[in-house]
Amino acid sequence: MSTERHDDKRRRSAANGTLELERFLPYQLNVLAEQVSRSLSKIYGERYGISIPEWRVIATLGQYGRMTAKEIGLHSRMHKTKVSRAVASLQADGRLERKANSDDKREALLRLTRQGRLIYDALAPDALAFAGELTSVLSQADSEALGRIIDQLRERSEDLALGLDRSG
């Protein structure tokens, strides 16, 4: 099924040259992220009744206090429609409140209500514990490498996407 000519190997990046899905990094990353999200969603959803976008909004406001929807989106890397819907849902549930900005009436300043703050205070330790249990299987060296690797890959991928845009 696969070509076995020696001069092909040089041009292929995987160790043995053929495309194996389970060794293909984009696939591996996707499977891992999905798996981790599913596990974590059990805490988000079943224990606190919120979605992942809502969780990101809560985590961002919990960390920074008062922000606009745009700032939340930038900080948590979410599309503005995702932020808009998560904010609307949290507000409907009384976990977040908007305050008009008199200096610029296009935007609204958002912050957690007392109820939203309670959720954040309860959820944050659980989330940190989950992350801790996740990384506890890694060696000290691997654990330190991981943060660096993730940042490098994300930046590289962004650059590649730009390159593909220009040529495609």
Partner DNA sequence: TGACATTAGTTGCGAGTGTAACTATTTCTT
Partner DNA sequence: AAGAAATAGTTACACTCGCAACTAATGTCA
Which residues bind to DNA, rule: CB under 7 A?
A: 51-53, 68-71, 78-85, 87-88, 103-108
Q: How far is the CB of 124 from a second copy (least distance, A)?
A: 4
Q: CB of 112 within 8 A of CB of 54?
A: no
Q: Which is nearer to DNA, 8 or 104 (CB)?
A: 104
Question: Mapping DSSP to helix (H, G, I), strand (E, B) and coil, where does residue 98 land?
Answer: strand
CA distance 77 to 150: 15
| Partner from a second copy, DNA, none contacting 84, C-beta within 5 to 8 A by type | DNA
Q: How far is the CB of 68 from a second copy (least distance, A)?
A: 16
| Partner from DNA, a second copy, none contacting 118, C-beta within 5 to 8 A by type | none
Comparing CA positions, the residue from 146, 145, 130 lying closest to residue 48 is 130
Comparing CA positions, the residue from 75, 62, 35, 168 lying closest to residue 119 is 62
| Partner from a second copy, DNA, none contacting 81, C-beta within 5 to 8 A by type | DNA
Q: How far is the CB of 40 from DNA (least distance, A)?
A: 13
Q: Which residues pair with 96 in a beta bridge?
A: 112
